[in-house]
Amino acid sequence: MYIVGIVVIIALLLSFFYRYIPVLGVQNMDIPQRNESEDDVVYIDTRDYQTSSRESANQAYCVPLPYLKRHYTDIPNKKLVLISSDQVERNLCVRILRRKGYEVVGYAIANQMSCAQELRCVCDE
């Protein structure tokens, strides 16, 4: 009985770590004022389709978090900047993409972005 309890506690701690502990090496970026060249970075909009269609992101690949494990091959193999709706979504996306071999260099939380209205998605074209 104690072994089952220990396994459950370990599973809960791993889930907490996976979701809520920030990923190192990923910085908060202001999307219009970034330092890297336009060709070096790809934007990935990981918000759900309803939100990203209303506030779409400039030349971003729209791949919501639930679809990321299936459609990560649609993303070019370049440095990535994530556009997420909150920190939990950001942490999950960064960990999934790093496990798939991508380099995530930055992120932007969509409700904190000042540029959300001037952006649009590649998937809408």
pLDDT of residue 115: 46
Biggest distance spanned by C-alpha atoms of the chain: 57
- Distance between CA atoms of 113 and 125, rounded to whole angstroms? 23
The 10s digit of each residue's pLDDT in 5-56 is 999 999 999 999 999 999 998 999 877 555 555 668 899 999 988 877 776 6
Which residues lie closer than 8 Å to 19 by C-beta, 6 or more apart?
A: 88, 91, 92
- What pTM, to 2 d.p., does this model score? 0.79
**Secondary structure of the chain in the HEC alphabet?**
CHHHHHHHHHHHHHHHHHHHCCCCCCEECCHHHCCCCCCCEEEEECCCHHHHHHCCCCCEEECCHHHHHHHHHHCCCCEEEEEECCHHHHHHHHHHHHHCCCEEEEEEEHHHCCCHHHCCEHHHC
The CATH number for 84's domain is 3.40.250.10
- Give me the number of domains the chain comprises: 1
Structural domain containing residue 103: 2-124
117: pLDDT strictly greater than 50? no
